[in-house]
Structure 1
Amino acid sequence: MDTMRGALERAKMLVGMEVDEESPPPEEQSFFDDRLYGFAICLAAGLTCTFLSMLVFFNPVKFGVTFTLGNLMALGSTAFLIGPKRQFDMMLDSVRIYATAVYIASIIIALFCALFVHSKLLTLLAIILEFGALVWYSLSYIPFARSVVSKVMTSCFDTEF
């Protein structure tokens, strides 16, 4: 616990934040530590589910459900850090409302294809759409990242000579 606190203090110093000379009361430290542990556990579980889904790639139901569950757990892990209400508000921000809508729609499509259609091809296409929507949604948190990626993709796939 003290090593994590020391690492956090060093990280604060590296990014130029002021380090408190006085440590917060033990109950505040415990709450912050619990949130970090919740984040780490949820993120690790989500990444594990996502990677384990590759083992059942040829079974569309198991693949679609495990991959989607892993993505949702990894995405939900940030709610431990900033809180679920703030996470929800940030998802509905005008900058990323369309990315959020496409991501949620792709999750629904992937689960529908996996659970009801049972088509390997459609499930695979839905998972590709879901992955792309997750990347686009994640890029919305990095300033100018989506415009840079758009320009790079346009220059890569531009057919005019």
Structure 2
Amino acid sequence: MKFGFFSADFGDQGLIDDEAELTHDEKGAWKFCGLSKSQRMFAFGACFVSGALLSILSTLVLLVGNIVAFAILYSCGNVISLFSLTFIIGIPKQVKTMFAPVRFWATVVYIVLLALTLAMSIWLRNFALSIVLVIIQFSALVWYSASYIPYGREIIRRFFGSCITSI
């Protein structure tokens, strides 16, 4: 398994588990909340949609010109959407898959950019810098998410490679 930001290994996709394949610890990941499998799916959907709506709402706040509120809403929306997966696979497996060798650097870069976006937007209140950091943060999130899709990163590499060679 390759260990790096540009790894294309698909050994750990972090997909939804079959109930029969789960260990006792993994089955109990959300059992303390008393959630059934269908309730977890609804919670996943609600959490993901809430995060997406917060990210969209942040764009409307940006049109008003409040860069601090924009950065906070956008980053919180991304974190909530990312957290939504824990309802499907559980917190321990979510953390394990986030920091698996295939996506370790993508996770680290994304988390650092998330924190940097918030810090720079709140302390410096620099509109241009905040927008650049949000674009880079979004790109890191796309790269991270592509690691869960078989050949997702390869598709992105080939797309941008063909765009660059056609210029």
TM-score, structure 1 as length reference: 0.78
Q: How large is the Cα RMSD of the aligned pairs?
A: 1.9
Choose from 120, 124, 140 the match for 1:133: 140
TM-score, structure 2 as length reference: 0.75
Mapping for residues 92-107 of structure 1, pairs under 5 Å: 92-107=99-114
Q: Give me the whole-angstrom Cα distance separating, in 2, the residues matched to 1:41 and 1:149.
A: 28
Q: Give me the whole-angstrom Cα distance separating, in 1, the residues matched to 2:42 and 2:158.
A: 38
Choose from 15, 28, 36 the match for 1:31: 36
Q: Give me the whole-angstrom Cα distance separating, in 2, the residues matched to 1:30 and 1:112.
A: 36
Choose from 64, 88, 94 the match for 1:87: 94
Q: Which residue of 1 aligns with 2:52?
A: 47
Q: Which has the higher helix share?
A: 1
Q: Which residue of 2 aligns with 1:66?
A: 73
With over 3 angstroms needed to count, the CA separation of the structure-2 counterparts of 1:30 and 1:137, relative to structure 1, is closer
- How far has the Cα of 1:159 moved from its partner? 6.6
Q: Give me the whole-angstrom Cα distance separating, in 2, the residues matched to 1:62 and 1:53.
A: 7
* Displaced runs of 4 or more, over 3 A: none
Q: Give me the whole-angstrom Cα distance separating, in 1, the residues matched to 2:53 and 2:96.
A: 27
Q: Give me the whole-angstrom Cα distance separating, in 1, the residues matched to 2:88 and 2:128.
A: 37
Tell me the SS of whatever aligns to 1:138: helix
Q: Deviations over 1:64-101 (max 9, x none)?
A: 00000001101100101100110000001110001111
Q: Deviations over 1:113-139 (max 9, x none)?
A: 111111101110110011000000000
Q: Give me the whole-angstrom Cα distance separating, in 2, the residues matched to 1:156 and 1:44.
A: 32
Q: Give me the whole-angstrom Cα distance separating, in 1, the residues matched to 2:57 and 2:69.
A: 10
Higher relative contact order (CA 8 A, sep 6+): 2
Matched, 1:119 2:130: no
Which runs of 5 or more structure 2 residues have no equivalent in the other structure?
A: 1-17, 19-30
